[in-house]
Chains A and B, each alone.
Chain A
Amino acid sequence: MSSAADMEMRVDPPHSANPATTGIAVCLGTWCADATVEQLTPILKLLQAALGSRTASVIVAYPATNPQADAWQHEGFSMQPYAFDGNKPSLNTTTAASYRNMQDVMQTYKTSCGILLGAEAQTLHPDALRGMVDAVLDRNADVALPRYSVGSNEALINAALLYPLSRAIFGVKACFPFALDQVLSVRAAERMAVAAGQAAKASGGDAFVWPTAEAAAAGFIVAEITAGTRIFPIQPNTDLSLVLNLLGSSLFSEIEAKASFWQRTRPLQAMLSLDVVPAQHVTTEPVSSDEVAEMIESFRIAHGNLQEIWSLVLPPQTLLGLKRLSRMPNESFSMPDALWVRILYDFVLAYRLRTINRGHLLGTLTPLYLAWVASHILAAQTTDATNPPESLARAFEADKPYLVSRWRWPDRFNP
């Protein structure tokens, strides 16, 4: 298995437009472990609607705890169970194990592309899935990601952290870098599987792989396809701190591992953007003022109690910004983009330098994130901003030199 540094430096040549086979492997995650025919039928209907004549060459792999489970045929699909040890991950999303399972299936059946589908995938628009598969099979893309239409109150961790950091640091503009549904080419699947193996060694059961980071480092072509609305699965674990800890630590580790890649000045990676499903303006129920007030109060409690820890991580200017923020009245509570950018970049640096225990570090990020959420919700009530917000992503890009200089010379400033 290649080392992380070797993987980072290797840039694969473009793959041929005409793969030897046209088989498609669909890999379903642990959310459908030991699924019955009735439970799989909605997914199969989606695949039929999306893949049309390609259905005959589709292998659908799903997890099964019974190691003796046999393959079977259903409505033209070849159903292939793969071994599953019964341990479900903490988050209902695509984990490192999903990529390895998909790679195993693709290698076994020599398919030319792989589809990863998350829970509630039956609510995905068939045209979106077809667009993603066409991007990989016909238009030479290596990684096809959906762009979901979400309301201003949804996918907030993606809006606050995952999208802007991925875009600014790895140069990939995909709005959902950690999408539930993905289509990968053969070489992309191989690369993700190797990365998944390394991530699983470091983090165990809850390891994640970042397809945009891997694609950027390898010089793969990324395609983004508009996918309309989709229902997101309910998470088994509703503890926000735990969710932020899992996602934040994984992304920060990825940033640390690929430091030599993103520190070089590069333009934003060209991305294939396809408008397949018209973008929809999603209206959600307005967030109650009580809920917003609760988030602001959570931030104020943290501001009163975590100064000692924040001062180890954040510079005085940022602490002053937080102090001003804590004194704002609820109605005009607003966290400037520049402040949030600096907070995240300082946390990335502190994660790398191990200024404090990493679990503690990410625990102290939760109230700051809630302050951003409260500010974002209040702003969305008066303006018609997109989700994820474009202005925030540009602010992250503009301040990237700060991250680079502090990464290279950490001792130049020590809070």
Chain B
Amino acid sequence: MFSQVKYALIDSFGRVLTKLAVFLPGVLALLLAVVILALLGAALSAGARSLLLRMRFDERVSERNSAGLSDWAPSHSPSLLISRLIFWACVVLGLVIGVSAYDAAGTSDLTPFILPYLAHSVGALLILIGGTIFARYISRSVLISAVNAKLNYARALSLGVKWLVLIFTAAMVLDHLEIGGNIVEIGFGILFGGMVLALALAFGLGSRDIVARSIERTADRATPMDQASERSSESVRYVRHF
């Protein structure tokens, strides 16, 4: 009996070692692909950066496009943005090649699931980054516009818009990763719809007086000339800015 146990254990151990021996080359191939492509990416990125600096690319972009690429680039340097894009593109490519190499090592039943999921993860990450940047930009725009429109609740409006965009982004990310399924869809619909309704009520109820005055002004302008004296007087402005 003890020898049967011994043979069973040795057999199991052998299988583990075999699996490991089959698994390790794939992992090594993956790591090697990522490292090589990362080094290549670093070299290409440095080369591209020095070429763009020699061409005075940053100055030319800011001369021709005063609002645009430079506003989005890190440290407001479009050449730095391009060089970083090149580097990370090579890293992602290395990851893709590495996963293919891992698959070619004949190891895995997981590969048909890993590669698509990896692609979706990259997509989800990009959606998250883009959504966050957009949320910050739009909330700041709303804040400034609301302040210039003399709305007391400007900050609340801006925060509301920011969270709307962030929740929308989060729902898109989860949907892209196929996490949660219908629960996420329904939950998002309820939450988003509720927030929009709350904002609409707040804006509508809060701006009642402004809307009423605006309608009144429009009606006054339509008053016939012979009833001009009955028009409500609108304050005349004597300040001319330009």
CB-contacts of A350-401 with B (<8 A): 353-354, 356-360, 363-364, 366-367, 373, 377
Closest partner residue, chain A, to B145 (CB atom):
A363
Chain B residues closer than 8 Å to A377, beta-carbon distance:
239
Q: How far is it, in angstroms, between the C-alpha of A11 and the C-alpha of B10 when the chains are bound?
A: 92
In the complex, A85→B66 CA distance in Å? Answer: 24
Given A235, A294, A364, which contacts B242 in the complex, CB threshold below 8 Å?
A235
Residues on A with beta carbons closer than 8 Å to the beta carbon of B70: 354
Smallest CB-CB separation from A242: which chain B residue? B148
CB-CB under 8 A from B137, the residues of chain A are: 357
* Stretch of B88-96, B120-128, B149-157 that contacts chain A: B149-157
B150 touches which of A247, A301, A360 (Cβ 8 Å): A301
CB-based nearest B residue for A4: B63
Q: How far is the CB of A151 from chain B (nearest CB, A)?
A: 8
Known: A286-B238, A291-B238, A301-B152. A249 touches B63 (CB 8 A): no
* Complex contact B63–A354 (CB within 8 A): no
Q: Which residues of A contact B237 (CB under 8 A)?
A: 291
Residue-wise, chain B 76-102 has the 8 Å CB interface mask toward A (1 for contact) of 100000000000000000000000000
Q: What B residues does A301 contact at CB under 8 A?
A: 147, 150-152, 154
Q: How far, in Å, is B170 (CB) from chain A's closest CB?
A: 23
Residue of B76, B235, B236, B242 near A247 (CB, 8 A) is B242
CB pair A201 B64 closer than 8 Å: yes
Q: How many residues of B sit at the interface, in one of the four size bands?
A: 20 to 34
Smallest CB separation, B27 vs chain A (Å): 44
The complex places the Cα of A367 from the Cα of B146 at a distance, in Å, of 12
Partner of A305, one of B154, B236, B240, B241: B154
Question: B241 touching A240 by the CB < 8 A rule?
Answer: yes
Residues in chain A near residue B198, CB distance under 8 A: none
Is A121's beta carbon under 8 Å from chain B? no
- In the complex, what residue of chain B is closest to A292 when comparing beta carbons? B239
Question: What is the distance, in angstroms, from B138's C-beta to the closest C-beta of chain A?
Answer: 11
Q: Using Cβ atoms and an 8 Å threshold, which residues of chain A touch B66? A: 202-203, 249, 253, 358
Q: Which residues 280-317 of A have a CB within 8 angstroms of B?
A: 284-288, 290-291, 294, 297-298, 301-302, 304-306, 309
Contact-size category for A: 35 or more
CA distance A359 to B144 in the complex (A): 10
Task: Identify the interface centre among B146, B147, B151: most chain A CB within 10 Å of its CB.
Answer: B147
Answer whether residue A232 sits at the interface, using C-beta atoms and an 8 A cutoff.
Answer: yes
Task: Tell yes or no: B140 within 8 A of A by CB.
Answer: yes
Interface residue ranges of B185-242 to A (CB < 8 Å): 235-242
List the A residue with the shortest CB-CB distance to B151. A301
Q: Is A75 an interface residue (CB 8 A)?
A: no
Distance (whole angstroms) from the CB of A281 to the closest CB of chain B: 17
- Contacts A357-B71, A357-B140, A360-B140; is A153 near B238 (CB within 8 Å)? yes
Query: Complex Cα distance A306/B147, Å?
Result: 8
Do B240 and A155 touch (CB < 8 A)?
Answer: yes
Contact with B along A325-350 (1 / 0, CB 8 A): 00000000000000000000000000
Q: Given that A253-B66, A363-B148 are known contacts, is A353 also in contact with B76, CB under 8 Å in the complex?
A: yes
Number of inter-chain CB pairs below 8 Å:
100
List A contacts of B147 (CB < 8 A). Answer: 301-302, 305-306, 364, 367
Tell me the smallest distance from the CB of B119 to a CB of chain A, in Å. 32
Query: Using Cβ atoms and an 8 Å threshold, which residues of chain B touch A154?
Result: 240
B residues less than 8 Å from A304 (CB atoms)? 155
Chain A residues positioned under 8 Å from B152 (CB to CB): 301
Residue B183, interface by CB 8 Å? no
A287 to chain B, nearest CB (A): 5
B142 to chain A, nearest CB (A): 11
Interface residue? B67 (CB, 8 A):
yes
Contact residues in B for A247 (Cβ distance below 8 Å):
242
A264 to chain B, nearest CB (A): 20
Known: A302-B147, A309-B140, A353-B76. A156 touches B64 (CB 8 A): no
A238, closest chain B residue (CB): B241
Chain A CB within 8 A of B141 CB = yes
What 9 A-B pairs have minimum CB-CB distances, sorted nearest first?
Answer: A363-B144, A354-B76, A285-B238, A154-B240, A305-B154, A302-B147, A305-B155, A157-B242, A241-B148
Besides the contacts A156-B241, A287-B239, A354-B70, what 14 more A-B pairs have beta carbons closer than 8 Å?
A: A153-B239, A153-B240, A154-B240, A155-B240, A157-B242, A198-B63, A201-B64, A202-B66, A240-B148, A298-B148, A359-B141, A360-B140, A366-B148, A377-B239
A-B pairs with beta carbons under 8 Å apart, 20 shown: A4-B63, A155-B242, A157-B241, A241-B145, A241-B148, A249-B66, A284-B238, A285-B238, A287-B238, A287-B239, A288-B235, A288-B238, A305-B146, A305-B155, A306-B143, A354-B70, A359-B67, A363-B148, A364-B144, A364-B147
